[in-house]
Structure 1
Amino acid sequence: MLLGASLNKLFIGSLFLVIILSCSEKKIYYNFSDHVAPIIFSNCSSCHYKKGPAPFSMMKYSDVAKRAKMVAYVTKSGYMPPWPADANYSHFIGEKILSEDEKMILQEWYNQGCVAGDTSKLTSPLVLSKTKRNIGNPDLVLKMNNAFIIPGNNKDLFMVTKLPFELDSDTNIRLIEFVPDNKQLVHHLNAHLITYDNEKNSHLLDVKPIVNGDIHNDSTAFHQLNIPYEDGTFPKLQPSVSNYLPGVEALLYPDGIGGLRVNKQSALLIKDIHYGPTPIIQTDHSYFNIYFDKNPPTRQIGEFILGTQGISPVIPPLVIPPNQVKKFETETIIPEDISVLTINPHMHLIGKEFKAYAISPIGDSIPLIKIDNWNFRWQYFYTFPKMLHLPAGSLIKVEAIFDNTLNNLDNPHNPPEFVSGKTGSMKTTDEMLQFVVMFLPYQEGDEKISLE
């Protein structure tokens, strides 16, 4: 009798265990509305929208479902979403990195047939720029009167132009944001601020709207663009008030950090805007959004560049013969304590790896950024979550690898050709090695200030 009862208990226990195991192994079915949309909208839709920088939209179920196989592949491989910096080395604001669970969900959703779920409860993702989300619409928009026609001659083009503006009175500016129109061809832009202390009668006169930077030197270009005063003297110029590279959004720091003071008569000098090669005639009508500020700037941002056209030489000289992989370095010692806000690595198509770090006077290593697979198309300005203090006497060092072989699928030449960066040329098919550092003079407590 006791044996029968024991067997009965054993049977019931085994059955209970089987039920538990079967429940625990129950397959999860994923749908777009509940599982996939939150991933796509948070990590992909900010670029993948109509007329956005990406080549197609990912704003609704049908957009994603018809590309589900590709989405599963590029996310599993880590190719998308694009975030070149190694998150195991250093962290920045706005990282777009999928977890292994998120990658698995996208894989399984595709394998299960791309079930839609209840899409009626979805809200379309906002695709406003970070600037508009945080401070609204601009106070002033500047653009050329007419779109610029890009000739289809398969050559890089470097153009210089001036966008004058006249305000009711001297004004504070919080941010100048560049908005590219032809996102496929605008490679980079550097804009500087001109302020006229004395009245210029012909300030708004459009003598020549845009000139070729490869043909004109600074003097002839500036006269063509009606920049000097009537007596031939030049106004004040504040460099690098707005910059652009592929993938970059305008840098909006917390109140009190950055900002500009402009006179009633001012202008943006675009020197230069770089258009990549194209075999067909295209147009571009990029523009600037300017946001005013009621408060004057309190902490001005500084900037220095290591490497090409910067304060430190590239060692050895930046020359990459055909069919070679070469390593280059550049370094500098900072003379004062600084608080680093944002950094920007820059190379062209031959670049493959980039690493920057600092070594403090007592020998501590401070990681800055590490990119193991350089992508010319995604050159972010990387902003630290909090200001990063580098003490005076710290060494900043950059190490980079360039691959001028056919193993580099971005190599613009087949067969590989001699590539140089010694002349400082900014052409896509030439090379550069730069590391841009944006900083403030250090103040006690800076390292606790959030930049988010």
Structure 2
Amino acid sequence: MWKTGLRFWAVILLGCATCWSADTSRESKLGEKVESFTLLNCYGKQVSLDDFASSQAVAIVFLGAECPLAKLYGPRLTDIQEQYAERGVQVLGINSNSQDSLTEVAAYVHRHEIGFPMLKDPGNRIADALGAQRTPEVFLIDHDRIVRYHGRIDDQYGVGYSKERDPKPELTLAIEALLTGQPIALAETKAVGCHIGRVKEIAATGEITFNKHIASIFNSKCMSCHRDGEIAPFTLTGYDDVLGWEDTILEVIDDNRMPPWYADPAHGTFANDARLSELERELIATWVENGMPEGDPKDLPEPPVFATGWQMEEPELVIKMREEPFSVAAEGVLDYQHFVVDPQWDEDKYIVSSEARPDKRGVVHHILVFVIPPGEDRRDFRQVLAGYAPGSPPMEFEDGLAIEVKAGSKLLFEMHYTPNGSATDDLSYVGFRFTDKENVRKRVRGRAAIDQDFVIPPNAAKHEVTADYVVKHDENLLSLTPHMHLRGKSFRYDAHFPDGRTETVLNVPNYDFNWQLKYVLDTPLNLPKGTRIRCTAVFDNSKYNLTNPDPSQSVKWGDQSFEEMMIGFMDTVPVQDNL
């Protein structure tokens, strides 16, 4: 019926919001003295801690060239340097990653306009001396080189989330206290970021090798996002690319954060299930434990081929999201952008393939192209013509299937961007192919169970909202996409059949706004007339939800992520032709 996943989309917040974690298991260095060290800066010149002997405070910050948080915080650290330079404060960056060369460190400095010295720590000697584990991670020392603050720069970013509200500037508060002779109220916080890629002392041994066992896993489960030009923070296209990232890889696999997949395995089977098998998990873990042997080059599989242009057949019509590019800031939280385009369709259109394409893949979180029906000023949530997320295929129909769009309709581009540390201009677009009405045997329908009238009370940790979709003609259910915003906690689809049976079609017990996945059924589910699909959403508006913009406020329906939505998207086709 269709060649690839129907309108499959999956969004990625902050490039790879689930690729970092918090450091929690380490002996504190507060009160200890930092011994002097000398390292080369990114231009090959020696820089010593003694060069800053007159400074009242030095913020030693461990950074990585590809870590998404290091990219976001680089400009912020430059602002701190400029703000406090006249008061005797020096920011000093150190890169201890084995995978980052001096050239890559220099590129990081130029790309993000770093305004403080950036040093290279070969063999992670300084990282080991201080016990640094993450990037970014700060050690603030006083004039006597005693560690007075350790941890993160601020609390805007956590494991898999980005706060909408103003962050608590913990490093800045510590600097102010130190300069004014006041006690630092919060002297130690959890560092959040990527693992430092340390040099491994384990000899590579064993029969499990990258070329024979691991490369094929990365090719099939990771490389669609983890390759040059895509939004993931580092590449996994070859053996050398993996070295230095192994601790981060193991961590996100163990925590079930990568590859992203949130369906409860007790309910339903899905054609696009992204999970690693237990065997694949064991192979990766054993390979790292054995020192990551590369193996025989003859065993290396052919890498997957990804389209550099259109994945679909050349489109008949290409529509840009607007006339001029949209400017994406270097950092911060950028909410949804909506652009309305009039394609000037003066006759009904029957779409058989579509593909949304980002202009700048490094910052495009997701694209959704909705229909605004003729004579209306709001989008129809049931009509999504195209979607993009890294790795998602175009929409392509066969066997007389098509989406019908009425003459006079407009298009709404919903764009979600993720700043990556560099200001970027984007002008994304969508392509379509059409067929004639007489060729259409079945119209693909977007369905939705929606509640727009809910009110989530302040501080409610488990507020339940339900909505129903009732089947009017026999149809087959193809896919399901739950949609909520930052307070979303869980989402479930239950089918109540006319014969009294009830079946849980999809259960997402731990909803993640960062990854709004379309779950494509392995076998379409027949829904007889009268079947009721009940969607049950649970919202967490409490202070314990770290992504919550403001737990003290009641929350209602709204487009932006600081508001909320409750939508159970579905795709169906009629059982009978020409319905």
- Aligned equivalents of 1:74, 1:393: Cα separation in 2: 43
Report the alpha carbon displacement of residue 105 of structure 1 after superposing the two structures with TM: 0.8
What TM-score, normalized to structure 1? 0.70
Asked if the contact 2:353–2:397 (Cα under 8 Å) also holds between the matched residues in 1, the reply is no
Q: 2:315 aligns with which of 134, 138, 162?
A: 138
State the partner residue of 1:47.
225
Matched, 1:273 2:273: no
**Aligned to 2:223, what secondary structure does the other structure show?**
coil
CA separation of 1:158/1:72 partners in 2, compared to 1, >3 Å: closer, same or farther?
closer
1:61-140 residue pairs with structure 2 within 5 A? 61-119=239-297, 121-128=300-307, 132=311, 135-140=312-317
- Structure 2 CA distance for partners of 1:118 and 1:163, relative to 1, 3 Å: farther
State the partner residue of 1:447: none
DSSP 3-state at the match of 2:265 = coil
Distance 2:217 2:410 in 1: 40
Do 1:245 and 1:379's aligned partners in 2 also have CA atoms closer than 8 Å? no
SS at match of 1:86: coil
Structure 1 residue 307: deviation in Å?
A: 1.7
The equivalent residue for 2:463 is: 326
Q: TM-score, normalised by structure 2?
A: 0.56
Tell me, yes or no, if structure 1 residue 361 matches structure 2 residue 494.
Answer: no
Write out per-residue CA displacement over residues 409-452 of structure 1, whole angstroms, 9 at most, x where no aligned residue: 43344xx332412xx311011111110122122239xxxxxxxx
Show the counterpart of 1:417: 552
Query: Are the counterparts in 2 of residues 71 and 106 from structure 1 also a CA contact under 8 Å?
Result: no
Q: Partner letter of residue 570 of structure 2?
A: V
Query: Which of 289, 294, 316 is equivalent to 2:431?
Result: 289
Q: Alignment partner of 2:395: what SS?
A: coil
Q: Which whole-Å CA distance do the structure 2 matches of 1:361 and 1:319 have between them? A: 32
**Alignment partners' CA distance in 2, 1:238 and 1:329:** 17
Match for 1:95: what amino acid?
D
Task: Answer yes or no: is 1:370 the counterpart of 2:511.
Answer: no
320-329 or 109-118: bigger deviation: 320-329
Give 3-state SS (helix, strand or coil) of 1:125's partner.
coil
**1:56 pairs with 234, 245, 250, which one?**
234
2:451–2:466 contact (8 Å) kept in structure 1 = no
Among 245, 250, 256, the residue aligned to 2:400: 256
1:200 corresponds to: none
Instruction: Report 1:141-290 matches (<5 A).
Output: 141-143=318-320, 144-150=322-328, 156-162=335-341, 164=343, 173-182=351-360, 184=363, 186-192=365-371, 218=377, 240-244=383-387, 249-260=393-404, 269-275=410-416, 282-290=424-432
Q: Work out the CA distance in 2 between the residues paired with 1:193 and 1:350.
A: 27
Q: CA deviation at 1:285?
A: 1.3
Say how many residue pairs are matched. Answer: 366
- Rounded Cα–Cα distance in structure 1 between residues aligned with 2:345 and 2:240: 47
Alignment RMSD = 3.7
Question: Which SS does the other structure have where 2:253 is aligned?
Answer: helix
- CA 1:418–1:181 in structure 2 vs 1: closer, same or farther (change >3 Å)? farther
| Amino acid aligned to 1:142 | I
2:345 and 2:455 map into 1 onto residues whose CA distance is 43
1:388 aligns with 2:525: yes
1:130 to 1:393, Cα distance in 2 relative to 1, 3 A: farther
Identify which of 277, 300, 303 aligns with 2:443: 300
Task: Give the distance between the partners of 1:239 and 1:361, measured in 2 at CA.
Answer: 24
8 Å contact 2:359–2:427 — kept in the other structure? Answer: yes
Question: 1: distance between equivalents of 2:405 and 2:486?
Answer: 38
Deviation at 1:245, TM superposition (A): 6.7
- Measured after TM superposition, the shift of residue 275 of structure 1 is 3.9
Does the aligned pair in 2 maintain the 1:160–1:269 contact within 8 Å? no
SS at match of 1:305: strand
- Residue identity over aligned pairs, in percent, reads 25
Cα deviation, 1:120-152, whole Å, max 9, x if unaligned, reads 6442222339982xx544344332454223468
How far apart are residue 99 of structure 1 and its match? 1.3
Q: Equivalents in 1 of 2:432, 2:401: separation in Å?
A: 16
Q: Which amino acid aligns with 2:426?
A: D
Tell me what 2:559 maps to.
426
Quick check: 1:343 aligned with 2:480? Answer: yes
CA displacement at 1:381 relative to structure 2: 2.3
Shift of 1:175: 1.1
Name the CA shift for 1:116/1:139 in 2 (closer, same or farther; >3 Å): farther
- The answer on whether the counterparts of 2:235 and 2:241 sit within 8 Å (CA) in structure 1 is yes
Runs (5+) with no aligned partner, structure 2: 1-204
Aligned partners of 2:354 and 2:395 also within 8 Å: no
Give deviations 1:329-376, integer Å, cap 9, x for gaps: 222432332211222110111111111110111211222211111111
1:94 aligns to what SS in structure 2? coil
The SS at the match of 1:116 is coil
Residue 64 and residue 139 in structure 1: after superposition, are their counterparts in 2 closer, same or farther (change >3 A)? farther
Q: Distance in 2 between matches of 1:112 and 1:269?
A: 57
- How many angstroms apart in 2 are the aligned matches of 1:330 and 1:347? 13
Distance in 2, Cα, partners of 1:410 & 1:261: 37
User: 8 Å contact 2:449–2:468 — kept in the other structure?
Assistant: yes
Cα distance in 1 for residues equivalent to 2:460 and 2:349: 54
Is the counterpart of residue 435 in structure 1 residue 568 in structure 2? yes
Shift of 1:159: 2.8
CA contact (8 A) 2:270 2:520 kept: yes
- 1:296-319 deviation line (CA, Å, top 9, x unaligned): 32211122221235xxx6xxx231
Give the gaps of 5 or more residues in structure 1.
1-26, 196-216, 223-236, 445-452
Q: What CA distance in whole angstroms lies between the structure 2 residues aligned with 1:130 and 1:377?
A: 26
Note closer, same or farther for the CA distance 1:118–1:140 as it changes in structure 2 (3 Å cut).
Answer: farther
Q: Which amino acid aligns with 2:410?
A: L
* Alpha-carbon spacing, 1:238–1:154, altered in 2? closer, same or farther (3 Å): closer
User: Are residue 32 (structure 1) and residue 175 (structure 2) matched?
Assistant: no
Contact 2:208 2:287 in 1 (8 A): yes
Structure ID, larger Rg: 1
Q: Which moved more, 1:318-327 or 1:110-119?
A: 318-327
Aligned to 2:166: none
Partner secondary structure for residue 430 of structure 1:
coil
**Kept after mapping to 2: 8 A contact 1:351/1:374:** yes
Residues 174 and 260 in structure 1, CA contact (< 8 A), matched pair in contact too: no
Quote how far apart the aligned CAs of 1:249 are: 4.2
